[in-house]
Structure 1
Amino acid sequence: MDDCRQQTLLFTFGVIADIQYADIDDGFNYTRTRRRYYRSGLQLLRNARKSWSESRVKPAFILQLGDIIDGFNKPKAASESALNTVLRELSSCPAEVYHVWGNHEFYNFSRSALLRSKLNSTLHTDRSMSTAPAGSGVYAYSFSPFPGFTFVVLDAYDVSLLGREKDSEQYVDAMNLIKQYNKNEDLNCPPAFNNLMQRFTMFNGGFSKDQLDWLDSLLSSADEKQEKVTIVSHLPIHPECTDNICLAWNFEELLAVIRSHTSVVCYMAGHAHDGGYCQDEDTGVHHLTVDGVIETPPDSNAFATVSVYRDRMELKGYGSITDRVFLFPSRQNDTYATAETWPSLRLLRSSGAVSRLEAERAKFHSLHCSLSAAAGIQHNNGDSQS
């Protein structure tokens, strides 16, 4: 009987990240090692929408993990039109779309504008939600698509130089923090350290104490109810599933909150276009960084459909995204599935993008900074690392 329950599909959902659409010609990242396909992202989104629409089991919802349009739209006064183009495509999806905010949202719009926009999923849903404290300006919320399962969306740019007024407490705190580690005139140029300090750049951000306290309270309730929680944000928080330069500023604090609870089973992010995966050794929580559409060739794809069961999530990737099985950790009994106890995880664990990213890290700093200095590049137009 238990085996039958474990094999029963409960619901599915779709995932897509870093579309970064703009009606401009293709370009490259700073190191000129990876092409960026600004226009074709719309077709790749159509491919994802078509797959979800034609699926035998329709998804319960879609997660859009941030950077929906590219910052290059802003200087062309095309932010609104580009956003409307992508939203029209998303409106044809067979399920509600839940939006995450990334750095490119803030290259195009102010925080106050985003809070009023169609990218604020809390304003455009019939589903019951728990949200961050009113008046905080924090874009964080949770919802339950199925009994016993909760999804939490966090605001990775709550403490940030992006989207905050320069006289705001959050902006001042962010500037004081980043200046401790990044001495460059251009704060989008990473610190000259080949370590975790590279995350202190302007295109990253962090989570305020108030937001972490809200999450801590929410997870305490989920622990008591023995719910399974998936946390979603734009920035990765585990050093083993992304390059240092793409981590949230205070990733350790969020990891500490997660590790103090038993309910979290997965953390999903975008931002690092190569993607990545690891399983936290302390908790068994799965950390997934979803490949970005923006650097996916037009003849490929970059989206996924996740099938949820009682004991696991099965991710079916399309194009560049790898198929994965996420067995839910059973931390109530101090045991969880690992590469050693579940053989199929061994291969998946070793297939992340970290090794590829590490190979580029050393040359990124010198080339990124020299290009910025030589060309006088201004990074608020969105031509950033992620």
Structure 2
Amino acid sequence: MSSFASPLFRFGIIADPQYAAIPPHQAMDRHYASSLAKVAEAIEVFNGWELSFVMTLGDVIDRSFSSFDDILPVYDKLRHEALFLLGNHDFSVSPGHLSEVAARLGLPSPYYSFSRHGWRFIVLDGNEVSTFAPPEGHPHRALAAEMLAALQAKGAANAHRWNAALSDAQFAWLADEIASAAAAGEQVIVMNHYPVHPPCEHGMWDSERIVTLLAAQPHVVAYLNGHDHAGNYGKAGACHFVNFKGVVDTEKENAFAIVEVHADRIEIHGFGREDSRTLVY
């Protein structure tokens, strides 16, 4: 019976438009300027569905603060709530604009949570401890340089400048949010720009502690991210880890998804290059 029941609710997912008014990077098959039309196409599809919201999983732009002026108006055609989180390329702006990125995307704060239909969505800022997002001279920059050097010394696969970590304060906040969701009887979906599982070269520097926390909580159902444009999937404990494919990749093909939440499973309907999946919980 349940397999034919209509979902509790649905939401849309877009990952890594990386828009910029620049020529394509042919070797990486990234077509930055084409993302305007691709996001518009995704929005046209989303507008045909009843959705609770649409989340873009970071890297709205590839570079330069003025790129936001071109791509954000495309979202004005969306008849649903447009939500965002921060990706590494969103900070590929001049130093004077670094502190304005979160506000430009309309975020209530760099990381935040919200509840819908008895579910808690926890939205992380994966760039908090990085070599690029904190203002010049911020202690998080120095900490990031130390963490990166330590990972490089170990030969870690994810020891790259384009990755980052949560601060201890944000990690504690994540644990608190998960605990308060349990107390409220809410299931949890975590969203972030960066993958944490399975381990890969694009993963958070502090992936292990994040996966350990999420995998230990039976009410944490899924972790959704972008950043690794090829896409990926893994499971740890009861938590499904889904890496969505990048919009910016390929000249013509799009990649986006509609996520249906049911009482016993999550159905991901992939469009274009995005895979469809059933996540049982």
Q: How does 1:338-353 map to 2 (within 5 A)?
A: none
Paired with 1:216 and 1:164, the residues of 2 have a C-alpha distance of 23
Name which of 47, 51, 70 aligns with 1:53. Answer: 47
Q: Percent identity between the aligned chains?
A: 29
- 2:113 match: 142
* Structure 1 residue 307, shift from structure 2 partner: 1.1
Q: How does 1:334-373 map to 2 (within 5 A)?
A: none
Paired with 2:4 and 2:48, the residues of 1 have a C-alpha distance of 25
**Cα deviation per residue 1:24-62 (whole Å; 9 max; x = unaligned)?**
22113xxx3x3111111111111100101123xx21100
**Cα deviation per residue 1:344-371 (whole Å; 9 max; x = unaligned)?**
xxxxxxxxxxxxxxxxxxxxxxxxxxxx
Name which of 239, 243, 255 aligns with 2:211. Answer: 255
Paired with 2:99 and 2:4, the residues of 1 have a C-alpha distance of 44
- 2:107 match: 121
Consecutive unaligned residues in structure 1, runs of 5 or more: 123-130, 132-138, 184-190, 329-386
Q: How does 1:12-23 map to 2 (within 5 A)?
A: 12-23=10-21
**Cα deviation per residue 1:128-176 (whole Å; 9 max; x = unaligned)?**
xxx6xxxxxxx11111121x21111001011111121332211111111
Name which of 163, 170, 174 aligns with 1:204. Answer: 163
Q: How does 1:38-187 map to 2 (within 5 A)?
A: 38-55=32-49, 58-71=50-63, 74=64, 79-80=65-66, 82-108=67-93, 110-117=97-104, 119-122=105-108, 139-146=110-117, 148-182=118-152
Aligned letter for 2:103? R
Paired with 2:250 and 2:11, the residues of 1 have a C-alpha distance of 21
Aligned letter for 1:61? F
- 1:246 match: 202
* Structure 1 residue 297, shift from structure 2 partner: 2.9
Query: What SS class does the counterpart of residue 294 from structure 1 fall into?
Result: coil
Paired with 2:211 and 2:162, the residues of 1 have a C-alpha distance of 20
Which is greater in Rg? Answer: 1
* Structure 1 residue 95, shift from structure 2 partner: 0.8
Consecutive unaligned residues in structure 2, runs of 5 or more: none
Paired with 1:142 and 1:6, the residues of 2 have a C-alpha distance of 30
Query: What SS class does the counterpart of residue 108 from structure 1 fall into?
Result: coil
Aligned letter for 1:120? G
Paired with 2:280 and 2:192, the residues of 1 have a C-alpha distance of 21
* Structure 1 residue 6, shift from structure 2 partner: 7.9
* Structure 1 residue 70, shift from structure 2 partner: 0.8
Greater alpha carbon shift after TM alignment, 244-253 vs 215-224: 215-224
1:36 aligns with 2:23: no
Paired with 1:120 and 1:205, the residues of 2 have a C-alpha distance of 22
Query: What SS class does the counterpart of residue 255 from structure 1 fall into?
Result: helix
- 2:183 match: 224
- 2:247 match: 293
Aligned letter for 2:273? S
Query: What SS class does the counterpart of residue 47 from structure 2 fall into?
Result: helix
CA gap 1:172/1:6 in 2 versus in 1, 3 angstroms:
farther
Query: What SS class does the counterpart of residue 305 from structure 1 fall into?
Result: strand
Report if the CA contact (8 A) 2:99-2:135 is conserved: no
Report if the CA contact (8 A) 1:20-1:294 is conserved: yes
Per the normalisation by structure 1, the TM-score is 0.69
* Structure 1 residue 263, shift from structure 2 partner: 1.7
**What's the Cα RMSD here?**
1.8
Number of aligned residue pairs: give it.
Answer: 279
- 1:335 match: none
Name which of 225, 228, 237 aligns with 1:272. Answer: 228
Query: What SS class does the counterpart of residue 248 from structure 2 fall into?
Result: helix
Q: Identify, as 1 or 2, the structure richer in helix.
A: 1
* Structure 1 residue 269, shift from structure 2 partner: 0.6
Paired with 2:150 and 2:235, the residues of 1 have a C-alpha distance of 31
* Structure 1 residue 104, shift from structure 2 partner: 0.5
**Cα deviation per residue 1:167-207 (whole Å; 9 max; x = unaligned)?**
22111111111122336xxxxxxx8x4xxx12121111001
Aligned letter for 1:318? F
Aligned letter for 2:107? S
